[in-house]
Amino acid sequence: MKGHVLKRLAEHGPAIFAQYAGGADFKEIGEQYGCSWQTVRRFLIANDVPLRRPIWKLKLDPFETEICAAYAAGAEVCDLAAQYEVQSETVRRFLFARYLHRDEAI
Q: What is the pLDDT of residues 40-94, one digit of tens each?
A: 999 999 999 998 876 666 788 889 999 999 998 999 999 999 999 888 988 988 8
Domain coverage including residue 83: 55-97
User: Quick one: CA dihedral 29, 30, 33, 39, positive or negative?
Assistant: positive
Q: Residue 102 domain-assigned? A: no
pLDDT of residue 99: 73
Do 41 and 62 lie in one domain? The reply is: no
Do 9 and 41 lie in one domain? The reply is: yes
Q: Residue 12 domain-assigned? A: yes
Q: 0.85 exceeded by the pTM? A: no
Distance CA 17, CA 20 (A): 5
> Of 73, 83, 79, 81, whose CA–CA distance to 105 is shortest?
73
Phi-psi map region of 60: left, alpha, beta (phi>0 left; psi -120 to 50 alpha) = alpha
